[in-house]
């Protein structure tokens, strides 16, 4: 059955915001060097990947040099986990993973929304769940991008901090979170509008039924 314009707009915004969040979740450009150094020790880092160039153990416990891009939980990184995974970054990983997971659930619900008829009695519940899931996803994403924006390019994390800048993956995450708010609110508004319309139809149907009953009694 045909959907309303606001519902289709919410669907489009949720799809686009999910693509942004997916790219931010999987790309390693949350923080990156500005390229002004000839031999930077650090290149870029994402939620799950980090790229070093001749980076040595700052504790001087081991004579190890890290090169190229690695999975951030690689076993070889255990000697620098306290530097590579500070508490703020683990928190960012946790909340942005929740953001991504909730958005993924909302994606399946969006498919149900497109396939479900508005005459289905659970249609309004689907809209409320979908809008709430997207809004909760946006809240988790907000916590993640706010914390990373606050501490990500600080001097206490990656080397050569004065040459490090917030990257485009972070920007995509912010845009995706904003889009999630928009889509979530639109679905909740759609649910409220549909519920009001449904209540009016039920009242009109009940009123019509009462008139029919009164008319039948008067004829008798």
For the purposes of burial, counting CB atoms within 10 Å of the CB of 220, is it exposed (0-12), middle (13-18) or buried (19 or more)?
exposed
Q: Check if the beta carbon of residue 72 is closer than 8 Å to that of residue 31.
A: no
**CATH code of 179's domain:** 1.20.140
Q: In the numeric block, which tokens belong to residue 202?
A: 């039920």
Q: For residues 63 and 123, which has the higher predicted lDDT (pLDDT)?
A: 123
- As a whole number, mean pLDDT of residues 198-206 equals 60
The range of the structural domain enclosing residue 116 comes to 5-25+85-219
CA distances from 27 to 30, 89, 162, 180 (A): 8, 16, 22, 19
Do the domain assignments include residue 70?
no
Asked whether residue 69 is domain-assigned, the answer is no
Mean pLDDT of 171-200: 88
Task: For the chain, give the percent of residues with pLDDT over 90.
Answer: 42
**pLDDT value of residue 30:** 94
Residue 211, in any domain of the structure: yes
Is 21 contained in some domain?
A: yes
The total domain count for the chain is 1
- Segment 64-120, tens digit of pLDDT: 676 778 888 887 777 778 788 899 999 999 999 999 999 999 999 898 888 877 666
């Amino acid at each position: 059955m045909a959907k309303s314009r606001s519902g289709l707009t919410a669907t489009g915004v949720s799809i686009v915001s999910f693509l942004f969040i997916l790219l931010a979740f999987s790309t390693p450009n949350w923080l990156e060097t500005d390229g002004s150094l000839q031999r930077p020790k650090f290149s870029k880092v994402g939620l799950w990947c980090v790229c070093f160039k001749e980076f040595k153990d700052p504790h001087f416990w081991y004579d190890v040099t890290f090169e190229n891009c690695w999975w951030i939980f690689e076993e070889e990184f255990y000697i620098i986990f306290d530097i590579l995974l500070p508490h703020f970054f683990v928190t960012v990983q946790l909340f942005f993973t929740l953001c991504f997971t909730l958005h993924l659930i909302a994606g399946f619900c969006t498919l149900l929304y497109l396939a479900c008829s508005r005459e289905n009695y659970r249609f309004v519940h689907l809209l409320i769940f979908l809008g709430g899931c997207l809004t909760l996803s946006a809240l988790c994403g907000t916590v993640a991008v706010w914390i990373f924006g606050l501490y990500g390019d600080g001097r206490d994390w990656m080397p050569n901090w004065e040459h490090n800048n917030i990257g485009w993956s972070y920007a995509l995450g912010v845009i995706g979170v904003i889009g999630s708010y928009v889509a979530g609110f639109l679905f909740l508004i759609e649910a409220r509008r549909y519920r009001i319309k449904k209540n009016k139809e039920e009242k009109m149907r009940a009123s019509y039924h009462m008139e029919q009953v009164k008319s039948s009694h008067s004829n008798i």
